[in-house]
């Protein structure tokens, strides 16, 4: 890693991977059947949207708990003919499937939005259009698997690919952001955040975005949000804009996320350090905290035009980012909530499951080399009779961090003020301090330093929990441990965790390394794919993942490239049970320069939504690769028109002639 990183490289270095809890399949299935479009529309227009769907959600929750408790161990195998690994300007899907672009950066979202014109973008235009770098996708059924809300994270922006006026990448060290005007910064800010789309499947089986939907929403870096939980109102969150420390504008670098059983969207702030600049004195009270989070990251020059992103001028603003945000997508006027009880770090995602005792459990990765895996368990049980009662359930509970012991067991270490070292002697004077400096608190507890924890996913059919460790080239031989078994871990691995008796709130767990990734034909790599895996079927750098309604595990990767693995990123189907365990097959791959995000299947398993992020970047490790710009991208997917840059897009994959994916 050099000190001259593209945002994508930097993200690969330190970003988190997301989880896709809406892949809680049984839940989705039943929501699909039970939640009618009419009820949800009423919900969207009502002040108290959550109350509208009480009875159906109650059924959904009860059924889901049953499935989790049963721990049925049967998952069908994947059935499709895999594609050839490789990389070119186009995307590819398995034979017999169609991969159709659903929406691209710049396409209209809100009423009155203009058609995309790369030469005529401005902040107001972008604020009504689909944002950049789609990442997490969550599907909330309105009418089963044929009509629903698709929520989308817009993680970050690639100015060098977006703006025709730029000669190339902008950064602090080499060009001092000299071409990044206030206008361009404001476009970037409007291209961040999230989108809520109503999507529908037509009689021809094709998906489209419903124009003029009352649910349509854009969330940006300026959308006002509420801060809730133990850090709300704390002095360390107070700014000149918000002297009470309870409201904040925007969410940043939202990577992965999840849907909750009560119908909300959890969207996770990851590399928030990159948005801040300025330098605090070493003696500043926040200096140690900011150092641990990599603040200032100086990836953007927003601080040049907006004082709140300059930590010298507004030293508490950076404490207001790095949280899990909860949004009710059915109410476009709802105020997003930053739920501080779940801690402040570089959240990849928020995999969730309703525990057998009814409490809500959220597994989270902190995507940084040598950072941690966390778990949050709510104090209250999910209220199945009155979903509205769950509105603030994420504000009270116990956050813990994982320690993986060499004997294959592990401990959840509670991050609770006053317990163990989390006391005033170590600078923790309240639970607010613990959640604001979550990483430092976890350091003191002796958590296990992992190889960049990205997405986590819990499988309600088996109660197994999968953790994607994407890579860590900096781990030395002396730093190898049982759960991070390779030095210079370039290709990552997957850890499987098993709670005792299916109790996701227990203090302990068992774990094993399920898969070491990379090219199995190179002995030195030490990959452990099942020998039945083909030359196309292996992958490196697992990042996002999804468990589908049948309990099968799909892996999305970030960082494969011709120079590293001879292949683009994509979606791999990974067998987890029985003799086929560890067998992997390639289902879909992205065009040049892109990363694979957002894997999300509809409850009926007939549609696979995926997000193609930052197409057109160069192959960073190829010494002959030319820098990519608006005029010289490595692909012009999906439009392939002169003058039209590559555009991050959501793709809907369906089976030609209908039917379930890979069954
Ligand atoms: Fe944004 Fe860790 O992936
Ligand atoms: Ca990533
Ligand atoms: Ca990710």
Nearest-atom index, ligand 1, CA of 452: 2
Nearest-atom index, ligand 1, CA of 255: 1
Determine the distance separating the centroid of ligand 3 and the alpha carbon of 402, expressed in angstroms.
20
Strand order in the sheet with 595-601: 97-104, 649-655, 607-613, 595-601
**Which tokens belong to 205?**
């089986």
**Which tokens belong to 655?**
């089976």
Determine the distance separating the centroid of ligand 2 and the alpha carbon of 12, expressed in angstroms.
6
Calculate the alpha carbon distances from 284 to 276, 298, 312, 316 in Å: 16, 19, 10, 11
Question: Is there a contact between 362 and 325 (Cβ–Cβ < 8 Å)?
Answer: no
pLDDT in tens, 107-140: 999 999 999 999 999 999 999 999 999 999 999 9
Smallest-distance ligand from the CA of 569: 2
pLDDT in tens, 181-238: 999 999 999 999 999 999 999 999 999 999 999 999 999 999 999 999 999 999 999 9
List the chain domain ranges. Answer: 7-655
Determine the distance separating the centroid of ligand 1 and the alpha carbon of 312, expressed in angstroms.
27
The pLDDT value given to residue 386: 87
Nearest-atom index, ligand 1, CA of 558: 3
Burial class (CB in 10 A: 0-12, 13-18, 19+), 126: buried
- Which residue has a Cα nearest atom 2 of ligand 1? 16
What is the Cα–Cα distance from 653 to 599, expressed in whole angstroms? 11
Strand order in the sheet with 584-589: 92-93, 584-589, 570-574, 553-557, 542-547
CA atoms within 13 A on the CB side of 116: 21
pLDDT in tens, 479-492: 999 999 999 999 99
Calculate the alpha carbon distances from 467 to 213, 363, 459, 470, 642 in Å: 36, 9, 11, 9, 41
Smallest-distance ligand from the CA of 12: 2
**Cα distance between the two ends of the chain:** 42
pLDDT in tens, 253-288: 999 999 999 999 999 999 999 999 999 999 999 999
pLDDT in tens, 175-195: 999 999 999 999 999 999 999
The pLDDT value given to residue 58: 38
Determine the distance separating the centroid of ligand 1 and the alpha carbon of 498, expressed in angstroms.
24
Nearest-atom index, ligand 1, CA of 14: 2
Give residue ranges with CB within 6 A of ligand 1: 11, 15-17, 155, 255, 270, 348, 367, 454, 543
Provide the angle, in degrees to the nearest 10, between the axes of the packed helices 54-70 and 25-34. Answer: 150
What is the Cα–Cα distance from 484 to 70, expressed in whole angstroms? 31
pTM of the predicted structure, to 2 decimals: 0.91
Determine the distance separating the centroid of ligand 1 and the alpha carbon of 497, expressed in angstroms.
21
Contacts of 208 (CB under 8 A, 6+ apart): 102, 199, 200, 202
What is the Cα–Cα distance from 656 to 80, expressed in whole angstroms? 13
């Amino acid at each position: 890693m050099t000190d001259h990183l593209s945002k994508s490289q930097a993200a690969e270095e330190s970003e988190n991977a997301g989880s896709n809890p809406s892949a809680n399949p049984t839940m989705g299935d039943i929501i699909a059947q039970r939640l009618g479009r009419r009820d949800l529309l009423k919900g969207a227009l009502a002040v108290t949207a959550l109350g509208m769907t009480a009875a159906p959600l109650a059924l959904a929750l009860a059924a889901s708990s049953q499935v989790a408790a049963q721990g049925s161990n049967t998952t069908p195998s994947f059935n499709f003919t895999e594609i050839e690994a490789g990389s070119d300007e186009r995307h590819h899907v398995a034979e017999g499937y169609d991969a159709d672009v659903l929406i691209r950066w710049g396409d209209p979202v809100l009423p009155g939005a203009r058609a995309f014109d790369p030469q005529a973008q401005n902040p107001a235009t972008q604020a009504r259009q689909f944002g950049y770098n789609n990442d997490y996708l969550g599907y909330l059924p309105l009418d089963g698997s044929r009509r629903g809300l698709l929520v989308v994270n817009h993680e970050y922006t690639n100015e060098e690919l977006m703006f025709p006026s730029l000669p190339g990448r902008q950064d602090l060290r080499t060009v001092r952001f000299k071409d990044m005007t206030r206008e361009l910064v404001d476009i970037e800010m409007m291209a961040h955040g999230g989108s809520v789309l109503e999507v529908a499947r037509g009689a021809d089986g094709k998906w489209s975005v419903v124009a003029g939907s009352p649910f349509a929403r854009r969330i940006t870096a300026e959308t006002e949000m509420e801060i809730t939980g133990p850090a709300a109102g704390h002095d360390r969150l107070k700014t000149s804009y918000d002297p009470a420390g309870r409201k904040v504008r925007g969410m940043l670098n939202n990577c992965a996320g999840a849907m909750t059983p009560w119908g909300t969207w959890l969207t996770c702030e990851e590399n928030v350090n990159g948005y801040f600049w300025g330098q605090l004195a070493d003696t500043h009270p926040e200096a140690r905290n900011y150092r641990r989070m990599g603040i200032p990251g100086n990836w953007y020059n927003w601080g040049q035009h907006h004082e709140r992103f300059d930590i010298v001028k507004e030293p508490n603003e950076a404490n207001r980012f790095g949280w899990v945000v909860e949004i009710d997508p059915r109410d476009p006027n709802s105020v997003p909530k930053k739920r501080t009880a779940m801690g402040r770090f570089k959240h990849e995602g928020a995999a969730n499951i309703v525990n057998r005792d009814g409490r809500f459990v959220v597994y989270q990765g902190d995507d940084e080399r040598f950072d941690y895996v966390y778990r949050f368990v709510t104090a209250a049980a999910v209220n199945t009779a009155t979903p509205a009662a769950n509105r603030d359930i994420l504000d009270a509970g116990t956050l813990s961090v994982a320690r993986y012991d060499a004997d294959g067991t592990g401990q959840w270490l509670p991050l609770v003020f006053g317990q163990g070292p989390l006391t005033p002697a170590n600078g923790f004077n309240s639970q607010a301090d613990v959640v604001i400096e979550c990483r430092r608190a976890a350091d003191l507890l002796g958590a296990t330093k992992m190889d960049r924890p990205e997405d986590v996913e819990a499988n309600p059919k088996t109660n197994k929990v999968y953790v994607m460790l994407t890579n860590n080239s900096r781990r030395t031989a002396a730093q190898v441990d049982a759960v991070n078994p390779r030095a210079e871990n370039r290709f990552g691995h997957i850890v499987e965790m098993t709670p005792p008796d299916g109790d996701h709130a227990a203090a302990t767990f068992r774990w094993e390394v399920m898969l070491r990734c990379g090219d199995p034909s190179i002995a030195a790599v030490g990959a452990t794919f099942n020998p039945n895996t083909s030359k196309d079927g292996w992958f490196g750098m697992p990042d996002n993942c999804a468990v589908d309604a049948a309990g099968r595990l799909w892996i999305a990767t970030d960082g494969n490239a011709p120079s590293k693995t001879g292949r683009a990123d994509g979606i791999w189907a990974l067998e987890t049970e029985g003799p086929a365990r560890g067998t992997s097959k390639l289902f879909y791959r992205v065009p040049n320069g892109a990363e694979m995000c957002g894997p999300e299947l509809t409850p009926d398993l007939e549609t696979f939504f995926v997000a193609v992020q930052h197409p057109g970047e160069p192959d960073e490790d190829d010494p002959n690769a030319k820098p990519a710009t608006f005029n010289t991208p490595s692909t012009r997917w999906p439009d392939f028109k002169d003058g039209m840059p590559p555009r991050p897009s959501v793709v809907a994959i369906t089976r030609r002639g209908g039917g379930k994916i890979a069954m």
